[in-house]
Chains A and B, each alone.
Chain A
Amino acid sequence: MNLNLLSWIIFLPIIGIIVIAVLPKPGQKTVKWIALSFALASFLISIAMFWMFDRSGSAIGHMQFEEKIAWIPAINAYYHLGVDGLSIPLVILMTFLGVVSVLVSWKIQLRPKEYFIWILLLESSILGVFCSLDLILFFLFWELELIPMYFLISIWGSGRKEYAANKYLIYTLVGSSFMLAGILSTYFITHTFDLTALAGISITSSFIPLTVLFFLLIVGFAIKLPVFPLHTWLPDAHTNAPTAASVILAGALLKMGGYGMIRLCVSMLPQIAVQYAPVMCTLAVIGVVYGAAVTMRQTDLKRLIAYSSVSHMGYVLLGIFALNQVSLAGASLQMFSHGVITGLLFAMVGLVYDKTHTRDLNNLSGLARQMPIIVVVFSIAGLASLGLPGTVGFIAEFITFAGSFASITIAGMKIFTLIAVTGVVVTAGYMLWMLQRVFYGYPLDKYNGVKDADAVEMISTFSFVAVIMAVGIYPAVLTNVINMGVAPIARLIGM
Chain B
Amino acid sequence: MLIDEMKYITPEISLLCFALLIVVVDLFVTRKGVLPILSVIGALVAAFFTVGLWGNGGISAFNNMIAIDQFGLFFKLLILASLVLVVMASNKYVLKFEKFQGEYYAVLMLSAIGLMLLVSAVNLITIYVSLELSSISLYALVSFLKDKASSEAGLKYLILGAVASAILLYGMALTFGLTGSTGLTAIADYFRTSSTASPLLLTGLVLIIAGFGFKIASVPFQLWVPDVYEGAPTPITAYLSVASKAAGFAVITRILMTAFGQPDWLHAEWAIIIAVLAALTMTVGNVTALVQTNIKRLFGYSSIAQAGYLMVGLAAMGMATQGNADIRSGIIFFLFSYTLTNLGAFIAIIAISNKIDSDQIADYTGMGKRSPLLAGALTLFLVSLTGLPPTAGLIAKIYIFNGAVDQGLLWLVVIAVINSVISAFYYFRVVKVMWMGEPASQDKVTSSWPEWTALAVCCIMVVIIGVAPGAFVGLTQAAVKMFGI
Contact = CB atoms under 8 A, between A and B. Distances in A.
Interface of A: 70-75, 136, 139-141, 143-144, 146-147, 150-151, 154-155, 162, 165-166, 169-170, 173-174, 177-178, 180-181, 184-185, 187-188, 207-208
Contacts of B399: 72, 74-75
B410 A181 contact: yes
B402 A169 contact: no
Contact of B428 (A70, A140, A141, A150): A150
A70 B428 CA distance: 33
Interface stretch (B31-39, B293-301, B386-394): B386-394
A187 B401 CA distance: 11
A154 B435 contact: yes
Interface of B: 326, 329, 383, 388-390, 394-395, 397-399, 401-402, 405-406, 408, 410, 413-414, 417-418, 420-421, 424-425, 428, 432, 435-436, 468-470, 473-474, 477
B330 to A, nearest CB: 8
Nearest to A137: B389
A184 B470 contact: no
A7 B201 CA distance: 58
Contacts of A184: 398, 401-402, 405, 413
Nearest to B423: A173
Contacts of B410: 181, 185, 207-208
A74 B329 CA distance: 9
30 contacts: A71-B469, A71-B470, A72-B395, A72-B469, A72-B470, A73-B473, A73-B474, A74-B326, A75-B326, A75-B398, A136-B398, A140-B394, A154-B432, A166-B425, A166-B432, A170-B421, A173-B424, A174-B421, A178-B414, A180-B398, A180-B401, A181-B414, A184-B401, A184-B402, A184-B413, A185-B405, A185-B410, A187-B402, A187-B405, A187-B406
A140 B473 contact: no
Nearest to B437: A162
Contacts of B474: 73-74
A90 B436 CA distance: 33
Given A144-B388, A144-B389, A180-B398, A170 B473 contact: no
B430 to A, nearest CB: 13
* Secondary structure dominating the interface of B: helix
A154 B435 CA distance: 9
Nearest to B399: A75
Contact of B388 (A72, A143, A207): A143
B425 A170 contact: yes
Contacts of A166: 425, 428, 432
Contacts of A178: 414, 417
Nearest to B372: A114
A112 B85 CA distance: 34
Nearest to B429: A166
A72 B388 CA distance: 17
A140 B424 contact: no
B407 to A, nearest CB: 9
A72 B473 contact: yes
Nearest to B424: A173
**Which of A74, A144, A207 has the most CB atoms of chain B within a 10 A radius of its CB?**
A74
Contact of A162 (B394, B436, B477): B436
A188 B417 contact: no
Nearest to B476: A74
A206 B41 CA distance: 56
Closest 5 CB pairs of A and B: A177-B417, A184-B405, A144-B389, A74-B473, A173-B421
Contacts of B418: 174, 177
Nearest to A76: B402
A293 B476 CA distance: 56
Given A147-B388, A155-B435, A173-B420, A181 B425 contact: no
Given A73-B470, A74-B477, A143-B394, 18 more contacts: A71-B469, A72-B470, A73-B474, A74-B474, A139-B398, A143-B388, A146-B388, A147-B383, A147-B388, A154-B435, A162-B432, A162-B436, A169-B428, A170-B425, A173-B421, A181-B410, A181-B413, A207-B410
Nearest to B473: A74
Contacts of A162: 432, 436
A72 B476 CA distance: 12
A383 B417 CA distance: 44
A162 B408 CA distance: 39
Contacts of B388: 143-144, 146-147
Given A74-B399, A177-B418, A180-B398, A170 B390 contact: no
A180 B419 CA distance: 13
B431 to A, nearest CB: 8
A394 to B, nearest CB: 39
A267 to B, nearest CB: 21
Nearest to B387: A143
A189 to B, nearest CB: 10
A269 B388 CA distance: 27
A170 B424 contact: yes
Nearest to A145: B389
Contacts of B425: 166, 170
A177 B420 contact: yes
Contacts of B413: 181, 184
Nearest to B466: A140
Contact of B408 (A73, A144, A165, A207): A207
Contact of A188 (B398, B406, B421, B428): B406
A139 B395 CA distance: 11
Contacts of A187: 402, 405-406
A140 B421 contact: no
A444 to B, nearest CB: 34
A396 to B, nearest CB: 32
Contacts of B406: 187-188
Contact of A140 (B329, B390, B402, B477): B390
A140 B432 contact: no
A188 B418 CA distance: 20
A147 to B, nearest CB: 6
B425 to A, nearest CB: 7
Nearest to B411: A181
Contacts of A185: 405, 410
Contacts of A143: 388-389, 394
B405 A188 contact: yes
A70 B470 CA distance: 8
A71 B405 CA distance: 21
Contacts of A207: 408, 410
Which has the most chain B C-beta neighbours within 10 Å: A70, A75, A170? A75
Contacts of B436: 154-155, 162
A165 B397 CA distance: 24
Contacts of B405: 181, 184-185, 187-188
B389 A151 contact: no
A275 B418 CA distance: 27
A72 B326 CA distance: 12
Contacts of A146: 388
A314 B428 CA distance: 32
A103 to B, nearest CB: 26
Contacts of B432: 154, 162, 165-166
